[in-house]
Amino acid sequence: MKLSFISTGYGRVHLGLFVQGGGWKKVRFPILCAVIEREDELVLFDTGIGTRIAEDFRPLPHRGNWFFSKAVMHTDFEPARDALVNQLPAVGFDPADVKYAIISHLHWDHAGGMRDFPGARFIVNRYEWDEATARKGMAAGAYIKGQFDGAGLDTQLISTDPLKPYLSFPASYDVFDDGALVLVDVPGHAPGQLGMVVNLPSGRRFFLTGDSFYFPDSLERMAPKSRIMQALVKEGPESEETLERLWHLMKDEPDLEMVPCHDYRIPGRFELAPYSY
């Protein structure tokens, strides 16, 4: 089993927008997905921004997401160049080999590529699904229902098991019942956000934390997103509890390598495909 990272475009923000007290330095950050090579199939963690993003943004209730992508995230994304389905062949992967995709949460920059993989089974937290599908019109915020609901996709709704605590988490879900990919709840940024621990045969362990924190500075300093950013993305009160849990986990498990989906130190801190771990 191997792990690779691919960025579906980039954004650019002032560090202090994503990290309280981070100041005015501008940083370029990825919109990251992970690809796990498992036997003769591929497993994704998130699908990033998809090929249909322009039409997804077109309906009036979702125009705010277009504005957010341009005015706040300053997103640089070209479907032909940056969509995950179009990048996979360039780094040696066949999109048809994608059999599973774990979706950390259903915001447009994480679930936007789901329809680009019609042959995959999508694993989503049931609570996240219920929350995302219940929100209507402008209240949907960063959820664009057409990306994941009613699109003929094979979606498996899961819940973590309180009888299976894992690390410092009170519940978990073992994707293949072999200990290789283990899901845990990291709520706050989204109500049902999932993180995934990847246990590689080499002994290295990666924790893909979704948007629990955007930049590693947040974790290192236990500094949450700015209040403005928390309001813009409608974060719940659990977000700071999750950040504190992850900070303690970082101290208790120093060999557990945490990877947020927008880590501006990537590439560098970790390398992008075709490099693999």
Q: How far is CA 115 from CA 48, 49, 119, 151, 211, in A?
A: 11, 11, 9, 7, 21
Distance from C-alpha of 169 to C-alpha of 189, rounded to nearest angstrom = 17
The percentage of residues in the chain with a pLDDT greater than 70, rounded to a whole number, is: 100
The reported pLDDT for the residue numbered 86 is 98
CA 112 vs. chain centroid, Å, equals 11
- When pLDDT is averaged across residues 68-76 and rounded to a whole number, the result is 94
Supply φ then ψ for residue 137, to 5 degrees: 55, -140
- When pLDDT is averaged across residues 251-275 and rounded to a whole number, the result is 96
Domain residues for 183?
2-259
Q: Is residue 273 part of a domain?
A: no
Tell me how many domains the chain contains: 1
Q: Is residue 277 part of a domain?
A: no
Q: Is residue 161 part of a domain?
A: yes
Cα dihedral 226, 231, 232, 236 in deg (nearest 10):
100
Q: Is residue 276 part of a domain?
A: no
**Under a CB-based contact definition with an 8 Å cutoff, are residues 160 and 171 in contact?**
yes
Cα dihedral 4, 84, 218, 233 in deg (nearest 10):
-160
| pLDDT bracket for residue 37 (50, 70, 90) | very high
Q: Is residue 149 part of a domain?
A: yes
Hey, is 78 helix, strand or coil? coil
Q: Is residue 182 part of a domain?
A: yes
Residue 161 DSSP code: B
Residue 226's CATH number? 3.60.15.10
pLDDT in tens, 146-196: 999 976 899 999 999 999 999 999 999 999 999 999 999 999 999 999 999
